Amino acid sequence: MEAVNHTPIGKITKTHGLKGEVRIKLNFTFLFPENYAPEVLFLGDNHTKPIPFFVENFNAVKENEAIVKFEDISDKDDAEKLKNLYFFTDEEESRLFIVENEESKLSYLSGYRLLDEQQNIIGTIDTIRILPAHPVAVLHIKNEEVLIPLHNDLILEIRKESKEIVIKIPDGLLSLYNL
């Protein structure tokens, strides 16, 4: 497994607990931190090629911090050896979860289907707009432009394989559009 076109996304800042967990500081803010579940992170410094480490658990504790448990790192001493290493992910995955202040970074969501909590199809995302509070998905339903907020509290699941987002629609939102 090789980190081709790997993108630095943060640094291990310290150990956490006694079971081999580490606290990481992210270079960016994650759009959907509760849905981020990487299988592999590549660890390295500025002088060596990054090495893959399999992720056992990834828990976002803030918008730019997480606690990570790697497979085969079982105690604080092992975790201490990882301190101050940078971690990388592949470029494609970084686009799925990292937000910069550009709409183009979220353009991959165009074409994703939005589903409500009951798995009913709301529509297909045409584009994303970045608003001050949060991004919104723009859909066209019955020849009308519909804006659906993409806020962390509303997103229940992201299905990358099937290009679907399950979202909790705020009460009354769709009725504003006579839908």
Least confident range of 38-42, 44-48, 103-107, 135-139: 103-107
pLDDT at residue number 1: 46
pLDDT in tens, 26-82: 776 665 555 667 788 889 886 678 889 999 998 888 767 889 999 999 999 999 999
Pairing outcome for strands 86-90 and 51-62 = unpaired
Stated pTM of the model: 0.51
What stretches of the chain adopt beta strand conformation (E)?
6-16, 21-26, 29-30, 40-44, 51-62, 65-70, 86-90, 98-99, 113-115, 121-130, 135-141, 144-149, 155-159, 164-167
Contact between 20 and 69 (Cβ < 8 Å): yes
Neighbours of 46 (CB within 10 A): 6
Question: What structural domains does the chain harbor?
Answer: 6-99 (2.40.30.60), 103-177 (2.30.30.240)
pLDDT at residue number 36: 67
